Chains A and B, each alone.
Chain A
Amino acid sequence: MRFFQPKSQLGFARILAETRSKVPISPGLISLEKPLKKEGYSAYFEIPFPTLDNIDKSSKKLIWIFPKEKEEKVLSKSFVLTEQPFYPHFVSDSISSQDYFEYVESFLSFPEAFRQIFTLPITMTDSKLVNQVSQTDCSLYILTGLSSLFNNQRRLSELLVSLREKISPDIAIYVPGPISPAFYSFLVYSGIDFFDNSQAYYTSKNGYFLTIDRTYSNEEHPTCYCPYCMEKPPNLFKHNELIIKNALTRIHHSLKEETLRTLVEKDIHNKVSFAATLRKYDSVFSQSFRSRSPIISNATMKCVGEESLSRPVITEYRNRIRERFVPDLLSRIILLLPCSARKPYSFSRSHMQIRKAIKKGGRGIFSILSELIVTSPLSVVPRELEGIFPAKFYDIPVAGQWTSKEISITATLLNDILKRYSKDAIIINHMSGEGYKDIIQIVREQNSFTVYDTSQEASPTSDKSLSRLSETLQEIFSDKFSSDVQAPSTLTKKLRAISDFQFGSDTGRILFADSLKTKGKYPRNQQIFSEKEQIAILNSKNGFLSLSPDSAQSISTKSKNILEFGDIQVKGSNIFAPGCIKADNSILPNDEIFVVFEKQVVATAKAIVSGKDMNKMTSGIVAEIKKKTRVKK
């Protein structure tokens, strides 16, 4: 059994907890020696200085720090440090490899208690022998030499991604040595779990003075008023230690509230090569991060820089809209609207005014109307999906200017979606401004739809534009509307769209009838009933669905969120890795998943880690049960 258990996953970043006690310990800080105060540290090394009496016999340990009341419960309180021979990472293979492989072979032959920490120099990450180590219950890798790649974005991204792809998420990686706390968030995002306080030790006149976003020389640095700097003489070690600890709690917190990516985008401004590496992650390695980033979340998402355009979550969102969004069959009018600062859009003043104007278009207008909100960086948000993450939770600085990249991404997705509509549908463009103009231009060039502009001369919320919108709708409406056809309700359309987005194409139509009953009003969760049976709950916080096991059964052949389980009955409240026979690779952390035994849904659950990683883990919890199917007696 491994020492660690992921509690949550966000790309390669995870919160790791001790398996038995569930005490979260990563991202964490390791002290090089026993600290005076244990607060803020996850562990410390006990490495006695060599003496003549204990040559080669002194055991070197890593001791974990737990709250007293949990200590009895934990799997182990300390690890024995296994050592590779003396070579540093930069030594050429021809000198070190033979001795290193001897180390790996002896490591593999150790009893399990001595096989918890493995030293891995960056030069050896591709070795086959090392792959064997990842099959053992080894819990912590010491990755040495990584800082030598900090200026090499290509090798850095390749190495970290391939290592993290290879090893299970319950194996922690510790990067030893002095690293500026300004880089922690990026490295945690890259899958590093532990750092140490070695940088705090550089306290001489040539040493370092740390701030949360930079490293200064000790001779010239900004004044600090922390109690340690106020001491005479200032206690530089304690100051640096404090900064390092705070830097880590900041990251831990952002992981908890799922805003790490926003923090990373801010922090990469501290180092250009990391900014470049992040771009590599988002382009070349996008799939690796996307398949591990939750799309069910209720974290606010600030999209300030260019990096935000290609966030994994946003790329995943666009992808799902492209692949899974199907407009209602009766839609004949496509209304393109600008976004609003307030989310969900329909709660904003501008969208309320627009809604009023739409209603003037005629009774029943919504049955043939499909509203698409055009925005950056999400590109297109169908009205039906305005309540889900990330549509409800993003924020961008609006200055009216669009970059050419934004324009091309947005126009491409919009064009792809428009292809799904009936050929005789009509587009009403109720957007104004430079970027929107360019997008509409592209739409016009690449489609044969008739496009009416209703907000060309004035802003979309001006009386002039709003009345033009109403008039235009009236004109078209009488043409296109036929009262004979029974249209699905707005609620049904919304639920179907969410279902398709969340569970996979075609699931919405199976789950939700044209008319449904609900209980509970915003901001409470909505319970959805069909023929007096509750079939689903719409979570008002994140906008996603929870299904009853029976409803889940009805889409179990269509949905991708499937975990094949090894037994007909689920015991306890968790699914453990050994019980998971196979998980779909497209499952994301936080996803609502269906636990299936021989094509029978036996429970619904919430994924803790991605499907890819469920298949890799050999111990620990992979999903939390939400509801079990009642066993028929």
Chain B
Amino acid sequence: MKINTSYSESIKQIREKNLPSREHSRRIIHWEEKHRIKSEVVKALVFILPTRGCSWALSGSGGCSVCGYLYDNPQKPDFEMIMISIKDILNKKIQQEEEYSIKIFTSGSFLDRNEVPINVQEAILKELAKYHQIREIVLESRPEYINDKILQNIVNNIDISKIEIAIGLESANNKILKNSVNKGFFWEDFEQATERIIKFGAKVKAYLLFKPPFVTEYDSINDIFLSVSKIKKLGIDTVSINAISIHRGTYLSLLFEKNQYRPPWLWSLVYICKEIKAKFPEIRLICDVVAGGTRRGAHNCGECDKAILEQLKEFTLTQDLKALNHNIQCSCKEEWKGYVLHEKIS
């Protein structure tokens, strides 16, 4: 059993209560940002495709306890319009002399045929293959959709060495996956998917979730370290540490409203990044803090948040530990230490 039935039942109930209120949107959201690939900084084009949403979240399991991305997806996707938009945007944005990284996100799994039909997957990949300026393409998927057939399909349409498949592993600890995140798969599934992807010549990026529900900040720091070392052994060199932000309409949000959850401290993220980068300098470590400095995102006391977020951003981009070594002093640093320790003992 990869799920805890009673836990998933209560997540499902929250999901069902909130789903009817989701808004119907057909717009393809996209933006441009700076992005680090290997040793240089390039432009990145990010697309968020308005699909029907993550199949796991829509299933009887209720989906992940922390995820509310589903509420931003439309009920009826219009793939014709999606294709037109992508073509149009690529055409407008991609310039001759620049190099690009393309990120195609769906708030679900790009490789899930039920979410993105196989012909749409093919069409998008073919379109991307037209641009030699594109150095890297990031696709997101849960491990269960990553099979030989779907990978072969990628190979048939594009140079697969450009592809990086990002998998939301969240944690390498099955207890956390089952009793905290309700992820529905285990470490072993991730392991298998990774082996497959590498066999086909693509790259893997792992997302790790910092401070899932019920897990104390101390244990979560420990879990991140444990997960990173396990991931590294699989030959993965890109890890994204995602500090939790509290999405409305989720189980986590209810905990938060009952005062039973505090989003992680930015101090912890700095600590984690420093530790991992110092011991594993070859890992590309990404730490984009969503909703940083707000009540529902990772935050400190409010006074030092901005400065630390700047540091983390700089670090993610430069992969240089120096970025984290500006000595920011704040009265809440003691408070953070006290909080982490007492939360651990309690």
A-side contacts of B234, CB under 8 Å = none
One of A88, A197, A204, A205 near B214 (C-beta < 8 A) = A88
In contact, B216 and A86 (Cβ under 8 angstroms): yes
**Closest residue on chain A to residue B303 by CB atoms:** A205
In contact, A202 and B218 (Cβ under 8 angstroms): no
Looking at chain A's contact residues, the main secondary structure is loop
In contact, B345 and A49 (Cβ under 8 angstroms): no
In contact, B279 and A198 (Cβ under 8 angstroms): no
For residue B341, CB closer than 8 A to chain A, the reply is yes
Q: With A52-B229, A53-B279, A200-B338 in contact, is A142–B6 under 8 Å at CB?
A: no
CB proximity of A611 to chain B, nearest CB, Å = 35
In contact, A55 and B4 (Cβ under 8 angstroms): no
For residue A579, CB closer than 8 A to chain B, the reply is no
CB proximity of B217 to chain A, nearest CB, Å = 10
For residue B148, CB closer than 8 A to chain A, the reply is no
Looking at chain B's contact residues, the main secondary structure is helix
One of A32, A88, A205 near B331 (C-beta < 8 A) = A205
A-side contacts of B176, CB under 8 Å = 86
For residue B339, CB closer than 8 A to chain A, the reply is yes
Q: With A94-B6, A201-B335 in contact, is A178–B342 under 8 Å at CB?
A: yes
In contact, B345 and A45 (Cβ under 8 angstroms): yes
CB proximity of A200 to chain B, nearest CB, Å = 7
A-side contacts of B330, CB under 8 Å = 204
One of B214, B271, B302 near A206 (C-beta < 8 A) = B302
A-side contacts of B338, CB under 8 Å = 32, 197-198, 200-202
For residue B22, CB closer than 8 A to chain A, the reply is no
Interface residues on B, range: 35 or more
Query: A70 vs B200: C-alpha distance in the bound complex, in angstroms?
Result: 68
Q: With A88-B214, A196-B342 in contact, is A204–B229 under 8 Å at CB?
A: no
For residue A485, CB closer than 8 A to chain B, the reply is no
* B residues 132-168 in Cβ contact with A at 8 Å: none
Among A45, A88, A207: residue with most chain B CB under 10 A? A88
For residue B334, CB closer than 8 A to chain A, the reply is yes
In contact, B214 and A87 (Cβ under 8 angstroms): yes
One of B175, B228, B260, B342 near A88 (C-beta < 8 A) = B260
**Closest residue on chain B to residue A47 by CB atoms:** B341
B-side contacts of A207, CB under 8 Å = 331-332, 335
Q: With A32-B345, A145-B346, A176-B345 in contact, is A201–B222 under 8 Å at CB?
A: no
For residue B23, CB closer than 8 A to chain A, the reply is no
A-side contacts of B335, CB under 8 Å = 201-204, 207
In contact, B222 and A205 (Cβ under 8 angstroms): no
Q: With A33-B341, A50-B218, A196-B345 in contact, is A205–B225 under 8 Å at CB?
A: no
In contact, A52 and B275 (Cβ under 8 angstroms): yes
For residue B69, CB closer than 8 A to chain A, the reply is no
CB proximity of A588 to chain B, nearest CB, Å = 35
Query: A92 vs B180: C-alpha distance in the bound complex, in angstroms?
Result: 12
B-side contacts of A415, CB under 8 Å = none
* B residues 1-44 in Cβ contact with A at 8 Å: 4, 6-7
CB proximity of A124 to chain B, nearest CB, Å = 14
For residue B106, CB closer than 8 A to chain A, the reply is no
For residue B191, CB closer than 8 A to chain A, the reply is no
**Closest residue on chain A to residue B216 by CB atoms:** A86
Query: A55 vs B334: C-alpha distance in the bound complex, in angstroms?
Result: 23
Query: A104 vs B280: C-alpha distance in the bound complex, in angstroms?
Result: 36
**Closest residue on chain B to residue A196 by CB atoms:** B342
Q: With A86-B215, A207-B335 in contact, is A32–B301 under 8 Å at CB?
A: no
Query: A218 vs B200: C-alpha distance in the bound complex, in angstroms?
Result: 59
A-side contacts of B221, CB under 8 Å = 49-50
CB proximity of B302 to chain A, nearest CB, Å = 7
In contact, A32 and B7 (Cβ under 8 angstroms): no
One of A33, A96, A144, A202 near B346 (C-beta < 8 A) = A144
Proximity bits, A77-116, B CB within 8 Å = 1, else 0 = 0000100011111111011100100000000000000000
In contact, B229 and A95 (Cβ under 8 angstroms): no
**Closest residue on chain A to residue B330 by CB atoms:** A204
A-side contacts of B342, CB under 8 Å = 32, 176-178, 196, 198, 201
**Closest residue on chain B to residue A33 by CB atoms:** B341
One of B180, B222, B280, B344 near A55 (C-beta < 8 A) = B222
One of B216, B219, B276, B334 near A203 (C-beta < 8 A) = B334
Proximity bits, A158-195, B CB within 8 Å = 1, else 0 = 00000000000000000011100000000000000000
Q: With A204-B301, A206-B301 in contact, is A50–B222 under 8 Å at CB?
A: yes
For residue B87, CB closer than 8 A to chain A, the reply is no
B-side contacts of A89, CB under 8 Å = 346
Q: With A45-B345, A51-B275 in contact, is A201–B225 under 8 Å at CB?
A: no
In contact, B4 and A51 (Cβ under 8 angstroms): no
In contact, A236 and B346 (Cβ under 8 angstroms): no
A-side contacts of B345, CB under 8 Å = 32, 45, 47, 81, 142, 176-177, 196
One of B175, B258, B302, B339 near A201 (C-beta < 8 A) = B339
**Closest residue on chain A to residue B230 by CB atoms:** A55
Query: A92 vs B330: C-alpha distance in the bound complex, in angstroms?
Result: 37
**Closest residue on chain B to residue A237 by CB atoms:** B334
In contact, B225 and A86 (Cβ under 8 angstroms): no
Proximity bits, A203-214, B CB within 8 Å = 1, else 0 = 111110000000
In contact, A99 and B175 (Cβ under 8 angstroms): yes
Proximity bits, A37-51, B CB within 8 Å = 1, else 0 = 000000001010111
Q: With A52-B276, A99-B179, A206-B302 in contact, is A94–B346 under 8 Å at CB?
A: no
A-B contact pairs, 15 of them (CB 8 A): A50-B225, A52-B229, A55-B225, A86-B180, A86-B216, A92-B6, A94-B4, A145-B346, A201-B342, A203-B331, A203-B335, A204-B301, A204-B330, A204-B335, A207-B331
**Apart from A99-B179, A177-B345, what are 6 other A-B pairs with CB-CB below 8 Å?**
A32-B338, A33-B337, A86-B216, A88-B260, A206-B301, A236-B331
**Which residues of A pack against B, CB within 8 Å?**
32-33, 45, 47, 49-53, 55-56, 81, 85-92, 94-96, 99, 142, 144-145, 176-178, 196-198, 200-207, 236-237
Interface pairs A-B: 4 shortest CB-CB: A201-B338, A198-B342, A204-B301, A204-B332
